[in-house]
Amino acid sequence: MLGDERQATTAVRASDQRGRHTTTTRQLFVMPGGWLLMDLPGLREIQLWTDPNQPTDNLEASFEDIQALAAHCRFRDCTHTAEPGCAVTAAHLDPARLANYQKMQKELAHLERKTSPRLAKQTRAKGNAIEKSVRSHPKRDS
């Protein structure tokens, strides 16, 4: 990816095209296009993190085009999935970009629920109310 060898590598197994971890230290590479590549040996997952007091600021800055379109949606709480009058879906954006935006929204909402006892309590109460409602309505025969 870098055009030259900067780290030691080993061959992959022919049977399953998988290899072994070779590097043992973290390293950051500046790529020719200006983006960054991180080698984080032993790290299996990187989670989204943001300021709990302003969880959506970074997301909005990263997806300014979607935020500008969302201002014209019919509903304020539009999820940009299947609502009528959604300006974001009407714009026919790159589906992968929109899916990435929606995934990051979900991750930020999850992070916010994890860090805010008030939101966690509200989420549990909402779930309990839904469960109680489902239990109180008998199943219909088809």
> Is residue 2 assigned to a domain?
no
Q: What is the CATH number of the domain that holds 99?
A: 1.10.40
Is the separation of the CB atoms in 8 and 21 below 8 Å? no
> Is residue 92 assigned to a domain?
yes
- Cα 94 to its chain centre, rounded Å, is 16
> Is residue 58 assigned to a domain?
yes
* Residue whose structure tokens are 């080993």: 10
What residues are paired with 138 via a beta bridge? none
The residue segments making up the domain with residue 80 are 50-114
> Is residue 98 assigned to a domain?
yes
Report pLDDT digits (tens) over 106-115: 888 888 777 7
Compute CA distances 140 → 130, 137, whole Å. 18, 9
Query: How many CA within 13 A on the CB side of residue 108?
Result: 17
Number of domains within the chain:
1
> Is residue 109 assigned to a domain?
yes
Q: What are phi and psi of 138, to 5 degrees?
A: -70, 150
| Strand segments (E) across the chain | 27-30, 36-39
Q: What's the CA gap between 49 and 32, in Å, rounded?
A: 27
> Is residue 33 assigned to a domain?
no
> Is residue 119 assigned to a domain?
no
pLDDT at 55: 54
- Which of 35-49, 87-101, 112-126 comes out lowest in average pLDDT? 35-49
> Is residue 22 assigned to a domain?
no
Coil vs helix vs strand at 30:
strand
Report pLDDT digits (tens) over 70-92: 999 999 888 888 889 999 989 98
